[in-house]
Structure 1
Amino acid sequence: MQTLHAASPEDHHAAIAAHPRLLVDYYKDDCPGCRMLDMALRTFAATSDAEGTVLLKVKLETVGEDFFRGLGLRQTPTLALFADGAEAARLPGFQAPAQIAQAVERHFARAPA
């Protein structure tokens, strides 16, 4: 699984447009749940379920709190799944590797790898 980092809202929008199977990890540095989700995403990335999926890391301290609020994000971490440019699911809080795999299977079944 390829990992990208958004340095701006424009990077965020460009990644959504460019990748048909995109996981977006909205996080911040001082968040214990965010660190746990990062470990779960690394575990998921090592599985065959992650093939063809791109991960975009979007850090609150980098893109700004106003951007997060504009997306309607209420907590970190939040994992969003974008299929063919449209948000297919939003999973707030920590997600275990099996939960991530389940969401990917459910929401990316039709999106090309």
Structure 2
Amino acid sequence: MQTLHASTPDDYAAALAAHPRLLVDYYKDDCPACRMLDMSLAKFAAGEEAAGLVLLKVKLETVGETFFRGLGLRQTPTLALYRDGAEAARLPGFQAPGQIARAVGLYLAPVGADA
């Protein structure tokens, strides 16, 4: 699983446009659950469900609170799953590797894959 970082709203928009299957991690530095989610994402990334996915890390302190609020985000961490630039699901709070895998399988299964 490739990992990208968005430093600006333009970086964010470019990633949404460029990657048809995108997992976005909205986080901040002083968030214990965000650090735990990083561990879950690392375990998830080692599995076959992560093949072909791109992870976009979006840090509140970098892109700004106004940007986060504009997306309707209420807490960190929050994962969002995007298919072809459209949000397919949002997972607020800590997620275990299995929860991430289930959501990816449900919302971001490769086109033509059996559901």
TM band (smaller chain): over 0.9
Q: 2:4 — aligned with what?
A: 4
Secondary structure of residue in 1 paired with 2:29: coil
- Residues 54-113 of structure 1, C-alpha deviations (whole Å, 9 max, x = no match): 00000000000000000000000000000011000000000000000000000012548x
Could you tell me how far apart the structure 2 residues matched to 1:108 and 1:28 are? Answer: 25
CA contact (8 A) 1:5 1:58 kept: yes
Q: 2:58 — aligned with what?
A: 58
Distance 1:78 1:15, change over 3 A: same
Q: 1:79 — aligned with what?
A: 79
Q: TM-score, normalised by structure 2?
A: 0.95
Q: 1:32 — aligned with what?
A: 32
Could you tell me how far apart the structure 1 residues matched to 2:7 and 2:96 are? Answer: 26
Q: TM-score, normalised by structure 1?
A: 0.96
Q: Where does the alignment leave 5 or more consecutive residues of structure 2 unmatched? A: none
Q: 1:41 — aligned with what?
A: 41
Secondary structure of residue in 1 paired with 2:33: helix
Aligned residues: percent identity? 76
Q: Where does the alignment leave 5 or more consecutive residues of structure 1 unmatched? A: none
Q: CA RMSD in A?
A: 1.4
- Residues 18-71 of structure 1, C-alpha deviations (whole Å, 9 max, x = no match): 001100000000000000001100110011110000000000000000000000
Moved over 6 A (4+): none
Counterpart check, 1:98 vs 2:103: no
